[in-house]
Amino acid sequence: MAVASYPTNCITLSSVKTKYCISCSMQQPSPSPSNVKVVINGAAKEIGRAAVVAITRARGMEVAGAVDTRFLGEDIGQLCDMEDPLEIPIISDLTMVLGSISQSKATGVVIDFTDPSTVYDNVKQATAFGMKSVVYVPRIKPDTITALSALCDKATTGCLVAPTLSIGSILLQQAAIQAAFHYNNVEIVESSTTASDLPSPDAIQIANNLSNLGQIYNREDLSTDVLARGQVVGEDGVRVHSLVLPGLPSSTSVHFSGPGEVYTLKHDITDVQSLMPGLILAIRKVVRLKNLVYGLEKFL
């Protein structure tokens, strides 16, 4: 898809079957005035630290600020075990960082790894300073997405809300949609090392995507209430089974079946590094946007 054309896409938010139509209008590099200045909000988290390293190694961008409530005052480069410090201390005041970057007149992007309750205010602050936002926060409420879209339209500024940054996960979702037109039985099996946040946002997204295709799945036991049969997600009979076993990778499998055959799609995540190519892509794309886009898949 050419970004300049900004076509209209209908997307389905995870956990709520509601459609929204949102139009899409190495070595450490030396700092350059042309580099995109990136602020990482949630920098002390595992994904935040991975993002610091990935952005530092990527061309055309640099880490310009690190915001978190932990490890205050520590150099973010040292916290990430980088060879050289970045001379960027972790601070808790997002506004202070944004104000400093806005004075340089450079293109700025805020990466939000925080919490659903703070996303709107964070994007609003970034917008006020003329900066774009990439939001990777699970389980954002539909009302928040609607409010963010209105905010970005009014300010004519870009924001990319990404339910997943995993390119592999997006490819699995796209393949599952294609397969769903050919099979009447489908179930999703996922695994995780912890019991929190289940079913996962990825599993919910897949189930909701498949539930928007006009198919009714698993008709043989559509109305069963046996707990061992898993949780029905969406309204069209897609079942999700969540395994919690320490030592297993984060995994999502989609099993389709028809007469005499089983077709399985599977994606494993073994390290947070798997999200970094998607993050770098998101940064490169969001700087050209003038409103809100939901889903990194719009740029694949």
Q: What is the pLDDT of residue 67?
A: 98
- Is the peptide bond prior to 85 cis by the omega test (within 30 degrees of 0)? no
Written as tens digits, the pLDDT of the chain (300 aa) is: 443 433 334 444 433 344 444 444 433 444 444 799 999 999 999 999 999 999 999 999 999 999 999 999 999 999 999 999 999 999 999 999 999 998 888 899 999 999 999 999 999 999 999 999 999 998 899 999 999 999 999 999 999 999 999 999 999 999 999 999 999 999 999 998 887 778 988 899 999 999 989 888 988 877 777 888 889 888 888 999 999 998 888 999 999 999 999 999 999 999 999 999 999 999 999 999 999 999 999 999
Q: What is the pLDDT of residue 197?
A: 79
Q: What is the pLDDT of residue 25?
A: 43
CB-CB contact of 168 with 288 (8 Å): no
* pLDDT tens sequence across 267-295: 999 999 999 999 999 999 999 999 999 99
Q: Where in the chain is the domain with CATH 3.40.50.720?
A: 36-161+274-294
Q: What is the pLDDT of residue 212?
A: 83
* pLDDT tens sequence across 88-132: 999 999 999 999 998 888 899 999 999 999 999 999 999 999 999
Q: Where in the chain is the domain with CATH 3.30.360.10?
A: 167-269
Strands 36-41 and 108-112, how do they pair? parallel
C-alpha–C-alpha distance, residues 58 and 286, integer Å = 16
Closest CA to 272 of 249, 255, 300: 249
C-alpha–C-alpha distance, residues 182 and 268, integer Å = 24
CB-CB contact of 198 with 242 (8 Å): yes
CB-CB contact of 80 with 108 (8 Å): no
Q: What is the pLDDT of residue 139?
A: 86
Q: What is the pLDDT of residue 219?
A: 87
Pick the CATH number of 36-161+274-294 from 2.30.30.40, 3.90.1150.10, 3.40.50.720, 3.50.50.60: 3.40.50.720
Q: What is the pLDDT of residue 34?
A: 79
Domain covering 167-269: architecture: 2-Layer Sandwich (3.30)
Q: What is the pLDDT of residue 171?
A: 97
Contacts of the segment 6-12: beta carbons below 8 A, 24+ positions apart? 6/290, 9/294, 9/295, 9/298, 11/294, 11/295, 12/205, 12/208, 12/209, 12/212
